[in-house]
Each structure stands twice: as structure tokens, then as C-alpha cells.
Amino acid sequence: MRAVLQRVTCASVEVNGRVVGKTDAGLLVFLGVGRDDVDDATRGSAEAVLLAEKVANLRIFPDADGKSNLSLLDTGGAALVISQFTLYADCRRGRRPSFTDAADPSPAETLVEEFRVALERLGVRAAAGVFGAHMTVSLVNDGPYTILLDTGALAGPRGRRSAPYGG
């Protein structure tokens, strides 16, 4: 699974002109599910929980001294989770991205929801977009502060890089 986290002061998502999810201060999480994530359902579910724990506990919010010492849980912030299969775009050939590394919609939708539910179990309010819909996402980026997470890289030894970070 891949996630792009953006620290926001607010974010919302619309489908057909109607707001279906929003958050105030917290994180906008674009979440992609790869084919490898759904090959083994147990592993995929475990990765959704691992990623939710990482997102909820990352110390990327400023403390009273302006240092990034607080987590989403510490600040009482919320998350807006948006499914994003394009995080698995392969642009190595030609001019049109290939998305063959992205998971099929049905199992991907299940893992996106498992991630959102895992955030809520940790105590993070988590809204979501509509899986598979054309969504209009609005946000006010705070910082800007943007982080890329990949469960393949999170599981590996520290100091060793793996895709998409330069593997």
C-alpha cells in the first residue's frame, strides 16, 4: 500500500457537487492499494493496520515550540482518506501511465475501508471519499508538509531503500 499524507488545516471531497467527506485540522491521506497487497488477504489486512498505526502516530505536527513532536493522536486531529489507484502509476515506458500494478477495485476497496476503520479504532476520526467515483478534492495544505509512505519500505530494514524511494 502507498499513502501520500498531506498535513492540512482543512480538506473536503465532493462527488457530483455534494460534499461526501471533510476534515478540519489533520491529514489528507491519498491511499493506493497494489496488486501485491491483495494477493494475500491476511497480509493486506495486516498492512492496512500497520499503515494506520504509522499514520496516527507520526510526529509531524508542531508542538508549542514549533517542533514536529506531535502526532495526529496527540493533536486530536482527523483524517480524510481518499482512494488513489494512480499512486501505482508506472511511467517508465511511453507517454501514458500503466496502472497494472494497482489492485483490482473490489479487493482494493476492502483494504481502503480496513485502513479507515483501523484509524478510527486508534481514536482518529476518519472521513472518506467514494471509492471509484470521480472526486473533487479541496485542501488547505499546512506547511506544506507532505509525506510518502509505502508498506513495502516500512517493512524493510532501516537504511535500505526500496521502491518507490529509489529501489
Task: Give catalytic residues, as residue numbers.
Answer: 84-86
CB under 8 Å to 33, separation ≥6 — which residues? 1, 44, 83, 85, 102, 103, 107, 108, 111, 112
Report CA torsion sign: 63, 3, 144, 164: positive
**Backbone φ, ψ for residue 139 (5° rounding):** -155, 155
